Structure 1
Amino acid sequence: MEMTLSDIFLSEVLGTATLILLGVGVVANTLLPKTKGHGTGWLLINWGWGFGVFAGVLVAYKSGAHLNPAVTVGIAASGAENYVDGIPVNVSSTMIYFAGQLVGAMIGALLAWATYKKHYDEDCDPSLKLGTFATAPEIRNPLWNTITEIIGTFVLVFVILSIGPAGEMAGLQKVDLGWLGALGVGLLVVSIGISLGGPTGYAINPARDLGPRIVHQLLPIPGKRDSDWGYSWVPIVGPMIGGTIAGLVGPIVF
């Protein structure tokens, strides 16, 4: 049975919501006061996001589990003719992917907030509360922060494409790994976080940062700060450039 655009939208919403619920949740568990995981640190956050990606990919397998506008753009830039059977690569289908990813990210962030609501109500550094939703650089330099996001996203999309559309176009044999394929993507995200995530918190996904940032802006969180919209373009522009470059390079290399 071929997928429809409404099927794509729902699949991406559910998969991205799963990813963001678990991702924002692990950061909240680590940063917010009086949680069981308070202070457990960066490695727990990396693993939490990796397992969140794993779960999200499993949920959204029918739509190809992009869960990330940078992945969608990378596939389009690679020259692939279809996203999944029956869904050609064009402006309309790309916008449907983007919309599903953003809506799912907002839903996931809202559910994570509801889970930790009483902890968000506690006195806490407002920047830590924002940090559970959105990324921020340790050393703020927009140019170099953007470069960091470009590199991290390039690695993500380049590796994904190597076993996906670009690899197939190059004649590489496709191996159906089932749920192990989803696990591989999750472990890739853990690796990127451990190795490349230190400068900016590795958004590597515009929807992952923008959706929760919007939710932070809208929610009545006691003692919260502004949502740092001055930085918000970096985790959008950087990943979109990185994904596009990966899509262009992939078919040449593979």
Structure 2
Amino acid sequence: MNPGSIVLWELIGTAILVLLGTGVVANVTLTKTYGHAGGTLMVTFGWGFAVFAGASMANASGAHLNPAVTLGLAIAGKVAWSLTPFYLLGQLAGGIVGAVLCWLVYKLQFDTYADNEHTLGIFSTAPNVRNAPWNLVTEIIGTFVLVGWILLSPGAAATTGGVPHFGNSALGYAGVSFVVMGIGQSLGGPTGYAINPVRDLGPRIAYAFLLPIKGKGSPDWGYSWIPVVGPLIGGGLAGLLALILPSAT
């Protein structure tokens, strides 16, 4: 696939992922919605289905939708390093676009919400207990599970074009969605499980510079590096493991 097409499909898929993912958090958080106070399970299921929808739509590019996945595939030798910048560009742009679309959907709810100062959590993650080293560890482990499953589960492979054939091919992208739901429900408590740099950074950029939410709070740049660096380390470690293990080749 040519670089321009990679950028376009990754943008579309990641935008859908972020639109639906941040959308379910907005639905649960904001008042005057039908999903208000739906709870953690609603959020984790919503994000899982968001992954399925975004990945299915971006199948043409391999549906990485996540720099940690792209990095893991590149380290494992399953996608050309020369193509990785185009994946990353499309993913970051898609994260920004998806957040803007979410705001458009819930514009009236933001306008009538009494606590817009704390709405960053709709778009980006934050730890329940702030401790940079341990928050980083949480994101590394969660992302390692995700990328490790993609690369190491039975049947996992990838074409030379970087299109992954996920483990348990009968499930396809639904399998990835189940893994994301499992990570959210079991490992997501400490940090909100970004496990994807652009899923956090793209919406954070949109929140800081593009979304005209009256009375909105800080984008919390001091924490923003953790949901970027942690997932990249986790994805890189999964790629190294896939490179080393004979069963992953």
- Give the TM-score normalised by structure 1: 0.89
Partner amino acid for 1:50? Answer: G
Tell me the equivalent position of 2:135. Answer: 145
**Contact persistence 2:166–2:173 (CA under 8 A):** no
Partner SS state of residue 103, structure 2? helix
Distance (Å, rounded) in 2 between the aligned partners of 1:114 and 1:13: 18
**Contact persistence 1:146–1:238 (CA under 8 A):** yes
**Contact persistence 1:32–1:128 (CA under 8 A):** no
Partner amino acid for 1:213? Answer: R
Query: Does 1:112 find its partner at 2:102?
Result: yes
Deviation of 1:153 after TM superposition, in Å, equals 0.2
Query: Does 1:96 find its partner at 2:86?
Result: yes
Partner amino acid for 1:62? Answer: A
After superposition, where does 1:182-197 map in structure 2 within 5 Å? 182-197=173-188
The one of 41, 48, 62 equivalent to 2:46 is: 48
Which deviations, in whole Å up to 9, do the C-alpha atoms of 1:226-253 show, x marking residues without a partner? 1000000000000000000000012333
Which deviations, in whole Å up to 9, do the C-alpha atoms of 1:23-63 show, x marking residues without a partner? 00000000111111000110000000000000011001111
Higher deviation after alignment, 205-214 or 218-227:
218-227
Deviation of 1:156 after TM superposition, in Å, equals 0.2
Partner amino acid for 1:45? Answer: V
The one of 211, 223, 230 equivalent to 2:215 is: 223
**CA RMSD after TM alignment:** 1.9
**Contact persistence 1:50–1:186 (CA under 8 A):** yes
Deviation of 1:77 after TM superposition, in Å, equals 1.1
Query: Does 1:207 find its partner at 2:198?
Result: yes
Deviation of 1:79 after TM superposition, in Å, equals 2.3
Partner amino acid for 1:188? Answer: V
After superposition, where does 1:50-129 map in structure 2 within 5 Å? 50-80=48-78, 83=79, 89-90=80-81, 92-126=82-116, 128-129=118-119
Query: Does 1:132 find its partner at 2:122?
Result: yes
Deviation of 1:152 after TM superposition, in Å, equals 0.1
Tell me the equivalent position of 2:232. Answer: 240
Partner SS state of residue 230, structure 1? helix
Partner SS state of residue 94, structure 1? helix
Deviation of 1:167 after TM superposition, in Å, equals 11
Deviation of 1:174 after TM superposition, in Å, equals 8.1
Partner SS state of residue 121, structure 2? helix
Q: What count of residue pairs does the alignment treat as equivalent?
A: 239
Partner amino acid for 1:247? Answer: G
**Contact persistence 1:17–1:105 (CA under 8 A):** yes
Which deviations, in whole Å up to 9, do the C-alpha atoms of 1:179-205 show, x marking residues without a partner? x31111111100000010000000000
**Contact persistence 2:156–2:167 (CA under 8 A):** no
Distance (Å, rounded) in 2 between the aligned partners of 1:249 and 1:26: 34
Distance (Å, rounded) in 2 between the aligned partners of 1:14 and 1:174: 20
Distance (Å, rounded) in 2 between the aligned partners of 1:175 and 1:75: 14
**Unmatched runs of 5 consecutive residues or more in structure 2:** none
The percentage of aligned residue pairs carrying the same residue is 55
- Give the TM-score normalised by structure 2: 0.91
Deviation of 1:122 after TM superposition, in Å, equals 2.0
Alpha carbons of structure 1 residues 252 and 227: separation in structure 2 relative to 1, 3 Å: same
Which deviations, in whole Å up to 9, do the C-alpha atoms of 1:125-166 show, x marking residues without a partner? 345411001000000001100000000000000001124347
Runs of 4+ in structure 1 off by over 3 angstroms are 163-168, 173-178
**Contact persistence 2:118–2:216 (CA under 8 A):** no
Distance (Å, rounded) in 2 between the aligned partners of 1:201 and 1:236: 13
